[in-house]
């Protein structure tokens, strides 16, 4: 392994951060993710380990561009060139490194493992659906669900839950499950990105917080050359890397829309996405309501009323 690889794998980032003044917040931390705060700067970081390579990785909750490996952590805090980073970190892989009080960091952080076999088994047991009573009740028309843009992008399980698959570099990583009064993410899975179908002549990518928002946005605008990707909520470090790669490899001339919720959390997501890619991105807020599905349901109120199950037949958990 080269020296930079050793830094990323062998230097406990929680220990190094503690040597720079950060303190672990044990109430917000878990065995897979450590939250640390700096009392002087109010910076808050989340530290974890990569699934595939075991590298220590982090992201700052306060600054969208501040994320990556320990090399990035040092550089974002005045580390300078890679040569300067090397001089800073060499003592941490065999030299005389600073002493750090045990209570200020965590000695071990487990890599999050994805049980792809389990995820695939459950997802494949659900059936491909051309329509969904639940999605119809959210204002989404049957003809949209079986359109070229969205056909085969979701499944329905035996309970009527709609499953939206998330993929990453390793393939199927997990799936979001939606139904009346029910939202969850697959056990053993991790959030990657849900994608609509993609075509060579697409001219725009619209990023959303949920697949249902993508369906809603498309129904409202009826734009034929738009592809969609969903994060299923706030960004993880894993998703940041996936989106950075996706934005970097967009075809020349493709534009980007950020159709996140019209609230502070949606604005924060938009800020984080703008920081990831060297692309101009518009902020596509719904004219009315918090999100695009809420806006769609207002437009489709009469249509929804005819399709929504009666109280005695609606499903909730």
What is the model's pLDDT at position 236?
78
Burial 153-181 (b: 16+ CB within 10 A, else e): bbbbbeeebbbbbbebeeebbbbbbbbbe
What are the distances in angstroms from CA 234 to CA 69, 176, 247, 271?
Answer: 20, 14, 18, 12
Q: Which two tokens stand for residue 289?
A: 């309501």
What is the model's pLDDT at position 168?
92
Alpha-carbon gap, residue 155 to 316, rounded angstroms? 19
Q: Say which CATH class 116-307 falls into.
A: alpha beta
Q: In this model, does residue 275 exceed pLDDT 90?
A: no
User: Which one of 15-24, 33-42, 126-135 scores highest in mean pLDDT?
Assistant: 126-135
Q: In this model, does residue 307 exceed pLDDT 90?
A: no
Write down the domain spans for the chain.
3-104, 116-307
What is the model's pLDDT at position 305?
66
Q: Which two tokens stand for residue 151?
A: 């056909």
Alpha-carbon gap, residue 304 to 129, rounded angstroms? 20
- Least confident interval from 214-228, 237-251, 288-302: 237-251
Percent pLDDT > 70 in the chain is 87
Question: Which has more pLDDT, 41 or 63?
Answer: 41
């Amino acid at each position: 392994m080269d020296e930079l690889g050793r830094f990323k794998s062998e230097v406990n980032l929680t220990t190094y951060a503690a040597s720079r003044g950060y303190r672990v917040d044990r109430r917000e931390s878990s065995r897979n993710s450590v939250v640390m705060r700096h009392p002087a700067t109010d910076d808050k970081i989340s530290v974890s380990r990569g699934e595939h390579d075991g590298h220590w990785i982090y992201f700052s909750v306060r600054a969208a561009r501040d994320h990556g490996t320990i090399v990035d952590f040092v550089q974002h805090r005045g580390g300078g060139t890679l040569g300067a980073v090397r001089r800073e970190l060499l003592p941490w892989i065999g030299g005389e490194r600073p002493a750090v009080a045990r209570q200020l960091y965590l000695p071990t952080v487990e890599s999050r493992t994805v049980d792809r076999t389990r995820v695939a088994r459950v997802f494949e047991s659900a059936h491909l659906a051309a329509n969904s009573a639940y999605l119809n009740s959210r204002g989404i028309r049957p003809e949209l669900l079986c359109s070229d843009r969205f056909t085969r992008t979701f499944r329905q399980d035996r309970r009527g839950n709609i499953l939206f698959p998330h993929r990453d570099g390793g393939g199927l990583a997990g799936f979001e499950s939606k139904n009346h009064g029910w939202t969850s993410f697959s056990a053993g899975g991790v959030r990657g990105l849900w994608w609509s179908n993609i075509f060579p002549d697409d001219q725009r990518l619209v990023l959303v917080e949920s697949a249902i928002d993508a369906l809603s946005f498309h129904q409202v605008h009826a734009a034929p050359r738009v592809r969609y990707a969903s994060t299923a909520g706030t960004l993880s470090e894993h998703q940041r890397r996936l989106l950075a790669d996706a934005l970097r490899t967009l075809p020349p001339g493709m534009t980007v829309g950020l159709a996140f919720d019209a609230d502070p959390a949606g604005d924060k997501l938009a800020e984080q996405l703008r920081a990831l890619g060297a692309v101009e991105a518009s902020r596509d807020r719904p004219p009315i309501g918090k999100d695009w599905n809420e806006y769609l349901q207002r437009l489709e109120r009469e249509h929804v009323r005819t399709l929504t199950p009666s109280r005695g037949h609606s499903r909730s958990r």
